[in-house]
Structure 1
Amino acid sequence: MTDATSSQISRTSYDTAQARSQALEQKIATDPSGLRMLTGDRPTGALHIGHYFGSLRNRVRLQDAGVETWVLVADYQVITDRDVVGDIRGSVRELLTDYLAVGIDPERATVFAHSAVPALNQLMLPFLSLVTQPELERNPTVKAELQAAGKSAMGGLLLTYPVHQAADILFCHGNVVPVGKDQLPHIEQTRVIARRFNERYAGGQTVFREPDALLSEAPTILGLDGGAKMSKSLGNTVMLRMSADETVKRIKKAKTDSDRQITYDPESRPEVANLLTIASQCTGRTPEEIAGEIGDKGAGTLKMMTAEALNEHLAPIRERRAELEKDPAQLFSILRAGNERANDVANDTLATVREVMGMVY
């Protein structure tokens, strides 16, 4: 297969996914009944504004629009590419705090943890029979995670990460998965697993529906040091839990350039554009409009305007977060309730899988 042919297939696949995503958005706007969203995060600590603008705010939008919402605390994924996992329980607590603070509502959303739902993880066994080693090794996200971890040998859990993610989505019959373009290979792998299971084990009956990606138009927030993304380990983030003063200090240290005339040019001036994007996300104004208002007042004015907009936008979230931190027992109570719901659904799904595979004795 030539590079041109491969590129065309990729382009065609993306166009198809985009068309399905647009159809999903139309259904969400008119009649979200029957839609179940599965999304989540690895619990590696508290979340930052990259998470918030990139995904959390969109999850709340979908929840509020009436889409049934399932949020995964992917604690097993912490051990996929790390030799030192740290305080997982503490990280889960931080994650739950941020979820609720931004507006995930446990009365309308099921929040659950990987390790607490055995039947979900048991689905990996039949699902693994439906994929090949080369298919897993070609997954670009798996390659990127291996590189980010600085390892040369791939562990078994990382190799099978796309299958685990398929189990996450299919156990609860999720059909809406909000992702960026770079995550599409995972959704396509999940669709393939669902299709192959139905064909191989269920005689063509639909046990698993093929889920659709809801492609996010959320902006990518760069690290304040100009890095490709925010990372807690690099200290180039603004955490949701930070105080207003800490936020101002972080934004003041953000990398910009020497040109006093502020313009929105993501290609040539990515660091300046990043601050304008953050301010835009907080205020609802366009980056170009904000840049025009600042004009030749320089990076100092841009940083102060961005910090003020960010603090104003995050103030109610931080207030709720402070209240939630006072009662960690309540946070874990919410998680246990979500785990119970997830187990009920997972057990039903596994029972169906065993029945169609002829494994009920």
Structure 2
Amino acid sequence: MSTEQTSPAPTLAEDDVDLIETTSDASLERTQRRSDAIEREIGEDPTRFRILTGDRPTGNLHLGHYFGSLLNRVRLQDAGVETWVLVADYQVITDRDGVGPIRERVLSLVADYLAVGIDPQRSTIFTHSAVPALNQLMLPFLSVVTDSELRRNPTVKSELEATGDRAMSGLMLTYPVHQAADILFCKANLVPVGKDQLPHLEQARVIARRFDERYGRAGDGSRPVFPRPEALLSNAPNVLGTDGQKMSKSRGNAIELGMDADTTAKLLKRAVTDADRHITYDPVLRPEVSNLVLLTALASGRRPEDVAAEIGDGGAATLKKAAIEAVNDMLAPVRARRAELAADEGYLLDVLRRGNEHANAVAEATLSEVRQAMHMVY
């Protein structure tokens, strides 16, 4: 029996359509409609879906993560969706010269996950470096992508622009392929993303299709090895840092989940506002004031317009006081739980061990299907 490919590789022109369309208005509208439909389908039968999500352990998680992704993960888990949460430790070195205090940061990430409500009995928490079969998928996946295609990826393009004359690592160039391996190894069919992350998901979809076309199918050939993962678009509010810029630990403007109440208060007291004493919610014309209003509203479960109306002529001092009280009250139980978890390193390691064992079993099974489809079982 011949082991040569039975269908030609896709042409570059065909590939371009897949990736360019992710940025078109029409494509975004279709994706949003499909995402809305998926939300309804989750309500009807959550067991149809498996999600893959995660973070790089480059620092402590903060309120931007909390409102932007963590609450949604807990929501989906509690709704009954099978949830996989990746601690992407290998991705730390895509754009850095070393790993830093990686062990401390990985365990901190796990403590944050558990403290906000991710349940290791219902969700699989695992690390890149502990799942060899996941990373081995990079080899066949790299064979179905082009150099120019990778360089068009928004994350890679921004890295190229930021580094100037500095050479980019091969790992950074292939970052989108590694993300595809993350999604496809466990056959996730749903990925919570923001609109700016859609090109990464589309790359995973393209890789799944090309693998099927170039190498073949699993078992008796009746089904593809990999699903075509879909996007669950995030409607999470954009919470800025205390300086009005993107919340980031490196900027020193982030309210971290593990901070104590006094440190939180000091940071919020220094938050940037403006000279107008009357408080309104206008994210376009008054972004810094509106960010504090939004933060207060999110933490207290209210509408930002109502928060602004209540404070009125109270000025920035009253607004900051309200934000401090709302954030510290909201995070109090999370921080108490996190402190307990951080003090029990053995438990955190056990959560990772069990998650890694599960991830390895699934990854090995997927890799076995890949080898069969590629006729590499000897």
TM-score normalised by the chain length of structure 1: 0.95
Give, in whole Å, the separation in 2 of the partners of 1:85 and 1:338. 22
Give, in whole Å, the separation in 1 of the partners of 2:241 and 2:189. 32
Q: Encode CA deviations 1:76-108: one digit per residue, 9 max, x unaligned.
A: 000000013211111101101101000010000
After TM superposition, give the deviation of residue 14 of structure 1 in Å.
Answer: 1.2
Q: What is residue 129 of structure 1 aligned with on the other side?
A: 143
Alignment of 1:142-153 (within 5 A): 142-147=156-161, 152-153=166-167
How has the CA–CA distance of structure 1 residues 151 and 319 changed in structure 2, closer, same or farther, with 3 Å as cutoff?
Answer: farther
Q: Is contact 1:45-1:90 (8 Å) kept?
A: no
Give the alignment partner of residue 226 of structure 2, picking from 201, 205, 208. Answer: 208
Residue 45 of structure 1 aligns with an amino acid whose one-letter code is G
* Corresponding pairs, count: 356
Q: Is contact 1:180-1:216 (8 Å) kept?
A: yes
Give, in whole Å, the separation in 1 of the partners of 2:191 and 2:310. 38
| Structure 1 unaligned residues grouped into runs of 5+ | none
After TM superposition, give the deviation of residue 151 of structure 1 in Å.
Answer: 7.0
Give, in whole Å, the separation in 2 of the partners of 1:8 and 1:137. 16
Give, in whole Å, the separation in 2 of the partners of 1:90 and 1:8. 37
Q: What is residue 9 of structure 2 aligned with on the other side?
A: none
Give, in whole Å, the separation in 1 of the partners of 2:54 and 2:323. 28
Q: What is residue 84 of structure 2 aligned with on the other side?
A: 70
RMSD over equivalenced CA pairs, Å: 1.7
Give, in whole Å, the separation in 1 of the partners of 2:22 and 2:373. 37
State the secondary structure of the residue aligned to 1:177.
Answer: strand
Residue 303 of structure 1 aligns with an amino acid whose one-letter code is K
Alignment of 1:157-306 (within 5 A): 157-202=171-216, 205-227=223-245, 229-306=246-323
Give, in whole Å, the separation in 2 of the partners of 1:292 and 1:224. 21
Residue 72 of structure 1 aligns with an amino acid whose one-letter code is L
Give, in whole Å, the separation in 2 of the partners of 1:340 and 1:149. 38
After TM superposition, give the deviation of residue 146 of structure 1 in Å.
Answer: 4.7
Structure 1's consecutive aligned runs of 4 or more residues displaced over 3 angstroms after TM superposition are 6-9, 145-152
Give, in whole Å, the separation in 1 of the partners of 2:257 and 2:22. 40
Q: Is contact 1:81-1:146 (8 Å) kept?
A: no
How has the CA–CA distance of structure 1 residues 24 and 337 changed in structure 2, closer, same or farther, with 3 Å as cutoff?
Answer: same
Give the alignment partner of residue 314 of structure 1, picking from 313, 321, 331. Answer: 331
Q: What is residue 18 of structure 1 aligned with on the other side?
A: 32
Give, in whole Å, the separation in 1 of the partners of 2:94 and 2:121. 31
Give, in whole Å, the separation in 2 of the partners of 1:149 and 1:316. 42
Q: Is contact 2:265-2:324 (8 Å) kept?
A: yes
Residue 154 of structure 1 aligns with an amino acid whose one-letter code is M
Q: What is residue 8 of structure 2 aligned with on the other side?
A: none
Give, in whole Å, the separation in 2 of the partners of 1:213 and 1:7. 14
Q: Encode CA deviations 1:279-323: one digit per residue, 9 max, x unaligned.
A: 111122111110011111111111110110011111110010011
Is 1:345 aligned to 2:359, yes or no? no
State the secondary structure of the residue aligned to 1:303.
Answer: helix
Q: Is contact 2:240-2:247 (8 Å) kept?
A: yes
Give, in whole Å, the separation in 2 of the partners of 1:334 and 1:61. 20
After TM superposition, give the deviation of residue 153 of structure 1 in Å.
Answer: 2.7
State the secondary structure of the residue aligned to 2:313.
Answer: coil
Q: What is residue 31 of structure 1 aligned with on the other side?
A: 45
How has the CA–CA distance of structure 1 residues 151 and 219 changed in structure 2, closer, same or farther, with 3 Å as cutoff?
Answer: farther
After TM superposition, give the deviation of residue 20 of structure 1 in Å.
Answer: 1.8
Residue 224 of structure 2 aligns with an amino acid whose one-letter code is T
Give, in whole Å, the separation in 1 of the partners of 2:55 and 2:349. 16
Q: Encode CA deviations 1:243-285: one digit per residue, 9 max, x unaligned.
A: 1111111100000101001111111111111111111111221
Q: What is residue 10 of structure 2 aligned with on the other side?
A: none
After TM superposition, give the deviation of residue 149 of structure 1 in Å.
Answer: 6.5
Residue 241 of structure 1 aligns with an amino acid whose one-letter code is G
Give, in whole Å, the separation in 1 of the partners of 2:339 and 2:161. 36
Give, in whole Å, the separation in 1 of the partners of 2:163 and 2:66. 23
After TM superposition, give the deviation of residue 147 of structure 1 in Å.
Answer: 4.9
Give, in whole Å, the separation in 1 of the partners of 2:338 and 2:302. 26
Q: Is contact 1:112-1:338 (8 Å) kept?
A: yes
State the secondary structure of the residue aligned to 1:33.
Answer: helix
The sequence identity of aligned pairs, in percent, is: 65
State the secondary structure of the residue aligned to 1:297.
Answer: helix
After TM superposition, give the deviation of residue 7 of structure 1 in Å.
Answer: 8.5
Residue 21 of structure 1 aligns with an amino acid whose one-letter code is S
Q: Is contact 1:251-1:303 (8 Å) kept?
A: yes
| Structure 2 unaligned residues grouped into runs of 5+ | 1-12, 14-19
How has the CA–CA distance of structure 1 residues 163 and 67 changed in structure 2, closer, same or farther, with 3 Å as cutoff?
Answer: same
Q: Is contact 2:46-2:81 (8 Å) kept?
A: yes
Give, in whole Å, the separation in 1 of the partners of 2:59 and 2:49. 30
Q: Encode CA deviations 1:224-248: one digit per residue, 9 max, x unaligned.
A: 1111x11111110111011111111
How has the CA–CA distance of structure 1 residues 8 and 242 changed in structure 2, closer, same or farther, with 3 Å as cutoff?
Answer: closer
TM-score normalised by the chain length of structure 2: 0.91
After TM superposition, give the deviation of residue 202 of structure 1 in Å.
Answer: 1.3
Residue 242 of structure 2 aligns with an amino acid whose one-letter code is L
Q: Is contact 1:141-1:182 (8 Å) kept?
A: no
